[in-house]
Structure 1
Amino acid sequence: MMKWAEVRELYPNKFIKFEVLDYNTIDNKRHVNDIAIIKVINDGKEAMKEFSLCKEGQFVYSTKNEQIAIEVVKYIGIRRSS
């Protein structure tokens, strides 16, 4: 379990694939408190590949960002008319 500030200090200018362990929701945004690092990624191309492989609760984020704030989007779905 790590804080984002610690991750940014250890891995400057990298992408991090991580799992969210703890967060607070404020105004439809999840402000992440604690994460578990899955993988450190060196370039944007690899980051996009890893992003496409993320499971629920996993994200890829750049350490250039001071905080992690993820917008919560409700899934509405598509209805089929009969």
Structure 2
Amino acid sequence: MSWEEIRALYPNQWVKLHIIGYHVEGDYLFIDKMSVIQAISSAKDATHELANCKGNNIIYHTSHHTIKTKKIKNLGIFRSIPN
């Protein structure tokens, strides 16, 4: 589905989405294609779901006109732990 379709089906709500397709512009990922996993009824529930998101799943509010997220670089292990 497109973001416009999701915004029409779930106006002014939090939604949990599975990202299917995206494109990169600068430091941002713009999500082009996604599927709705569930609508979320409150900000408290959305925060709880966000804390448990894994993989290509995100939480987003449909009041936003575009859906994008800042790219996160994989830092790996950046310091050694002493023995």
Normalised TM-score (structure 1):
0.91
The Cα offsets for residues 2-44 of structure 1, whole Å up to 9 and x where unpaired, read as 1000100111110010110000011021111110111101110
Q: What percentage of residue pairs aligned between the two structures are identical?
A: 28
SS at match of 2:48: helix
Unaligned runs of 5+ in 2: none
- Runs (4 or more) in structure 1 with deviation over 3 Å come to none
What do you get for the CA RMSD once the two structures are aligned?
Answer: 1.2
Normalised TM-score (structure 2):
0.90
The Cα offsets for residues 20-76 of structure 1, whole Å up to 9 and x where unpaired, read as 000001102111111011110111000001111111111000000111111001022
Unaligned runs of 5+ in 1: none
Tell me the equivalent position of 2:42: 43
Aligned residue pairs total 81
